[in-house]
Amino acid sequence: MPSDTLSKNLNIAIQTLKAKEGSFKKIEAISNLGSWEIDLITKKSLWSDQTYKIYGEKKGAIEPNLELFFSHVIPEDIQRAKETLALALQSGNVTTFECTIRKSNGEKANILMSGQAIFDHTGLPIKLLGTTQDITQQVSLRAHSNELAQLIEYSSNEIYIVNYHTLQYLYVNKGGCDALGYTKKEFLKLTVFDTNPTLTQKKVDTLKAALSKKGNALNFTIHQRKNGSRYHAQAYIHTLTYHGVDAYVIFDTDISDQKEVEELLKEQTKKLTHQAHHDTLTGLPNRTLFKDRLAQTIIASNRSGEKFALLFIDLDHFKKINDSLGHHVGDEVLIESSKRLQKALRAEDTLARLGGDEFTVILKDIKNIQGASTATQKIIDSIKKPIKVAKHTLYVSSSVGISFFPDDATNGHDLIKFADTAMYKAKDEGRDSFQFYSSEMTTLAFERVVMENSIRVAINDMQFVVYYQPQIHAINETLTGMEALVRWKHPTLGIIPPGNFISIAEESGLIMDIDHIVMHQAMYQFSQWYKEGLNPGILSLNLSMKQLEKKDFVKKLLDTMYIFDFQPEWLELEVTEGQVMSNPSTSIQKLNEISNAGIEIAIDDFGTGYSSLAYLKKLPLDKLKIDQSFIKDIPHDEEDASITKAIIALGKSLNLKLVAEGVETKEQKEFLIENGCFHIQGYFYSRPIPADEIARLLKKSNEI
Ligand code: C2E
Ligand code: CA
Ligand code: CA
């Protein structure tokens, strides 16, 4: 190889080496890692640039050797350094060693020495090669994280780290162990469900949703200790990665004390609110609470459209009791009266004591004056029973004023004021009674009371008589039967039609007695006519559902038929569609019993009661009576005409007989015949007439 080529190659080699050395130096600088070697024979050392830098020495200014190294090691670490060196020379393994040095400028630094001895063929160490790394930063970081770990470990809070997916505990601090009574080892076998007995998977899912949204969540929970006891805890939860695992850390605080204080406060507040809203003597709501309830009732009634009544009750001559017998007797009277009032009312009514001997009541869902007067009379009667206090027997009466929502007023203030005014009216009228705020209502109420009493008298004195209205087959104009219709023969007012008393009789239950009278009279009459050889056809009796619902109704009916020798096939019972549909399931059962006894059933006033077809099919019916309101304007009124046709079609499809009521004209009759309804009842043929007139008619037709 020519010498210039050689020198060129050498040059390239030197350049390459220099370049490598340059890179090497850079790497050493980046990692803060210097290299060194010690010739154990010559005792000479070689330090890389970075090694010089680590010790803060200047290259060339000083001879690098072991002494120089030891001069930098702080005195506390020298002994250990020497021992490690000896170990490295003996073992031949890579030996590492951490110590603190003081740089030439006085600054302290942490270094990590790694070295290995090289031996000659006799096994004598001849060289030591190694590195020195400045790890000051890592050491301080490590110290810091140790401090943090200690902080967490000894924090008085309970701190738990839990696997995000399995909910198993991964870490628990001392606080957690102390609080729950498990050791760390035991904890690692548990999940959060073992320590939070009220926690549900649903709750966990909600919390996880919050965690994934915000990264943290707050939860209130109950912790159960190993010994089974429990306490309230508040938990702050954060997500984190723990040793590479998805996890969350929970910071729990025992809030039992706080809870206890809260409960105590709640209890006290409850007591105070109760005291603020109730009367101490009777325990009843006071004026404040009453006004509140009244306001709520007004809102509810506005929404539901239901009426309610407000009563103002005042005990008569209460002052006299107080003055003559003392306050303690007065107090006892008030307590006893409040108990009686409460008993006389329904659970949904509100009773309050406004003060002194004044009580107020909200009677909810009152349909009419009748309802209010019945309830009020009950109250007055309950107070009136003798009250025994100590050795006294007292007779206390009361006066009651009634106002109506919404008739009299729509605001609470006026309702109370008006009921109060009405109460004074009752006092003026002689006490021990009630008055409505509206005088028409009072009149009406008393008219009804008077009416009810007169009906009672009428029942006793047999003032009810039966009229009969024929039902005719319109094609051959023959009598098929008669409807029994009650009339009140009043001794002074003359004949009173049922429209004037049936509704009061129904509300008071007196209808049952009236129906009973009608049934007896009519059955007796029909039996007589049949015995006389006359043919009155079928007797239609109107029955109120109240009557039907009575347990022994069917038995009584059959007994009556037996007494009068009345055949079941002569009888038909009419029930109005409205009454049947108001309680279809009971009706089905009752009507089946009747039908099974061989008695026919007609549904009265059909078309007015919103029948459900499903029920119609289930009822044991024989006949539909088309309500007279549809007949009135046929055939001119198109709507009524088509409803009538539809009812006829419906009746036919259900295989039922049909009767049209209230037929007054020839056109009406002809329209009905044309459309297939042949049975007709109405003034066109005859008004309801007394039995003797019917008898004359029957005899006449017999003669023909
Ligand atoms: P209702 O059962 O629908 O009886 C038919 C009513 O229509 C009767 O009225 C009858 O007089 C009347 N009426 C019959 N044909 C015509 C007509 O062509 N034109 C007009 N405008 N009216 C006609 P009444 O007798 O005044 O009875 C009224 C209601 O009182 C009856 O209606 C029935 O619901 C009830 N009622 C009558 N008697 C009794 C009874 O003994 N017991 C029961 N529970 N209710 C009865
Ligand atoms: Ca009827
Ligand atoms: Ca009718």
Indicate which CATH number applies to the domain containing 388: 3.30.70.270
| 682 ligand 1 Cβ < 6 A | yes
Average of per-residue pLDDT across 7-29: 79
Task: Dump pLDDT digits (tens) for 161-190.
Answer: 999 999 999 999 999 999 999 999 999 999
Q: For the chain, report the end-to-end CA distance as a whole number of angstroms.
A: 165
CA 610 to ligand 2 centroid distance, Å: 17
Of 488, 542, 603, which is best to mutate to test ligand 1, by the most ligand atoms within 8 angstroms of its C-beta?
542
Of 471, 485, 543, which is best to mutate to test ligand 1, by the most ligand atoms within 8 angstroms of its C-beta?
485
- For residues 296-316, one letter each, b for 16 or more C-beta atoms within 10 angstroms of the residue's C-beta and e for the rest, the string is ebbeebeeeeebbbbbbbbbb
pLDDT value, residue 704:
57
Q: Is residue 420 part of a domain?
A: yes
Instruction: Indicate if the pLDDT at residue 443 is higher than 90.
Output: no
| 515 ligand 1 Cβ < 6 A | yes
pLDDT value, residue 640:
92
Same domain, 253 and 288: no
pLDDT value, residue 16:
78
Report the range of poorest mean pLDDT among 66-80, 431-445, 545-559. 431-445
The residue from 382, 415, 438 where one domain ends is 438
Same domain, 603 and 458: yes
CA 83 to ligand 1 centroid distance, Å: 127
Ligand 1 atom at shortest distance from the alpha carbon of 469:
14
Q: Return the residue whose CA atom lies nearest to atom 41 of ligand 1.
A: 486
Instruction: Indicate if the pLDDT at residue 480 is higher than 70.
Output: yes
The residue from 438, 473, 490 where one domain ends is 438
Looking at the DSSP assignment, which residues form a beta bridge with residue 109?
101
Same domain, 548 and 662: yes
Confidence of residue 447 (pLDDT cuts 50, 70, 90): confident
pLDDT value, residue 649:
93
Q: Is residue 217 part of a domain?
A: yes
CA 485 to ligand 1 centroid distance, Å: 6
Q: Are 684 and 664 in contact (CB under 8 A)?
A: yes
pLDDT value, residue 1:
52
| 109 ligand 1 Cβ < 6 A | no
Greatest alpha-carbon span in the chain: 169
Question: Where is 437: in which H helix or E strand?
Answer: none
| 664 ligand 1 Cβ < 6 A | yes
Instruction: Indicate if the pLDDT at residue 2 is higher than 60.
Output: no
The CATH number covering residue 571 comes to 3.20.20.450
pLDDT value, residue 619:
87
What percent of the chain stands above pLDDT 90? 64
DSSP state of 57: P
Rounded to whole angstroms, how far apart are CA atoms 251 and 253?
Answer: 7
Which ligand is nearest to the Cα of residue 498, counting in written order? Answer: 1
pLDDT value, residue 380:
93
pTM: 0.50
Rounded to whole angstroms, how far apart are CA atoms 475 and 478?
Answer: 8
Task: Dump pLDDT digits (tens) for 233-252.
Answer: 999 999 999 999 999 999 98
Same domain, 582 and 466: yes
The backbone region for 671, taken as left when phi is positive above 0, alpha when psi lies in -120 to 50, beta otherwise, is alpha
- For residues 488-523, one letter each, b for 16 or more C-beta atoms within 10 angstroms of the residue's C-beta and e for the rest, the string is beeeeeeebebeebbebbbbbebbbbbbebbbebbb
Q: Is residue 591 part of a domain?
A: yes
Ligand 1 atom at shortest distance from the alpha carbon of 511:
44
Q: Is residue 313 part of a domain?
A: yes
Q: Return the residue whose CA atom lies nearest to atom 43 of ligand 1.
A: 542
The encoded tokens of residue 118 equal 């090289």
Same domain, 75 and 175: no
Same domain, 232 and 356: no
Rounded to whole angstroms, how far apart are CA atoms 392 and 386?
Answer: 10
Higher pLDDT, 368 or 669: 669
| 466 ligand 1 Cβ < 6 A | no
Q: Is residue 443 part of a domain?
A: no
Same domain, 169 and 56: no
Average of per-residue pLDDT across 293-311: 94
Same domain, 519 and 653: yes
The CA dihedral of 626, 628, 633, 634, to the nearest 10 degrees, is: 30
Average of per-residue pLDDT across 399-422: 93
pLDDT value, residue 683:
95
Confidence of residue 284 (pLDDT cuts 50, 70, 90): very high
Q: Return the residue whose CA atom lies nearest to atom 6 of ligand 1.
A: 662
Number of H helices, E strands in the chain: 27, 27
pLDDT value, residue 703:
66
Its sign, for the CA torsion 696, 698, 699, 701, is: positive
Same domain, 253 and 146: yes
Verify cis geometry, omega within 30 degrees of 0, for the bond prior to 197.
Answer: no
Same domain, 426 and 497: no
Q: Is residue 18 part of a domain?
A: no
Same domain, 477 and 577: yes
CA 608 to ligand 3 centroid distance, Å: 10
Q: Is residue 410 part of a domain?
A: yes
CA 468 to ligand 1 centroid distance, Å: 10
Question: Residue 553 sits in which domain range?
Answer: 450-703
R_g of the chain, CA atoms, integer Å: 53
The CATH number covering residue 237 comes to 3.30.450.20
The residue from 105, 134, 163 where one domain ends is 134
Same domain, 479 and 427: no
Q: Return the residue whose CA atom lies nearest to atom 37 of ligand 1.
A: 485
CA 627 to ligand 2 centroid distance, Å: 9
Average pLDDT in the chain: 90
Ligand 1 atom at shortest distance from the alpha carbon of 467:
25
pLDDT value, residue 611:
66
What percent of the chain stands above pLDDT 70? 98
Rounded to whole angstroms, how far apart are CA atoms 510 and 140?
Answer: 102
Confidence of residue 589 (pLDDT cuts 50, 70, 90): confident
Q: Is residue 626 part of a domain?
A: yes
Confidence of residue 31 (pLDDT cuts 50, 70, 90): confident
| 497 ligand 1 Cβ < 6 A | yes
Question: How many domains does the chain fold into?
Answer: 4
Q: Are 507 and 538 in contact (CB under 8 A)?
A: no
CA 653 to ligand 2 centroid distance, Å: 23
| 647 ligand 1 Cβ < 6 A | no
| 486 ligand 1 Cβ < 6 A | yes
Report helix, strand or coil for 431: coil
pLDDT value, residue 585:
81
